[in-house]
Structure 1
């Protein structure tokens, strides 16, 4: 009688081990899927950041050019020049944020150097 009981417990333990192994593999797959989704979110956030920086630089250049034209009276030239400068600044900001161009480093002025 105890042998039957031990065999039943062993079968039950083997069945529970198999179920636990299947649950663990399912959890590993879910974790892998979550990692891929998180990477996708990070990429989307980076794209939104870069595009907003680019568009903001262009808009600031256009607004400053418009204001300059209104107060100085240089018709389209202020807007054209500052719009182009805003575009260049936007491209430079995007390249810096993407890591393609190094950020400028200001040298520390030492008393012995002039």
Structure 2
């Protein structure tokens, strides 16, 4: 059935007809093409920052590396102090006190290391 409706509108000489509907459709198509070209051009300008995107990705990775370093320093300080305290507890038979004291000292050392690393990063960001 769909073929029957299209056959009636075909012309026998093969040229396009200039009916008002086709002219309006052609004008609308041209207008749409111009608007899409304008929008596409503005989008290319807005997203042509491949260098900016790469710099942002590197900055994010660098920030994650700094965070991982700081957290590992804190954990290493606590675990190192706790291990030293546990060893002293076993060696000197002073049950929980060596573990408690050295775990707190390890925590303090870890916090100082994190603060030192954060202070260095703050000084570097001020220079930039």
Q: TM-score, normalised by structure 1?
A: 0.63
Question: If you compute each CA radius of gyration, which structure gives the higher value, 1 or 2?
Answer: 2
5 Å-filtered alignment, 1:40-51, equals 40-51=60-71
Partners of 2:46 and 2:62 lie apart in 1 by 24
**Structure 1 position 61 matched with structure 2 position 81:** yes
3-state SS, counterpart of residue 49 of structure 2: helix
Unaligned regions of 5+ residues in structure 2, if any? 1-40, 121-128
The CA distance in 2 between the partners of 1:39 and 1:65, in whole Å, is: 39
Question: Unaligned regions of 5+ residues in structure 1, if any?
Answer: 1-20, 101-114
Aligned residues: 79
TM-score, with length taken from structure 2: 0.57
**Root-mean-square deviation (Å):** 2.1
Of 92, 96, 102, the residue aligned with 1:76 is: 96
Q: Distance in 2 between matches of 1:93 and 1:26?
A: 42
Equivalent residue number for residue 85 of structure 1: 105
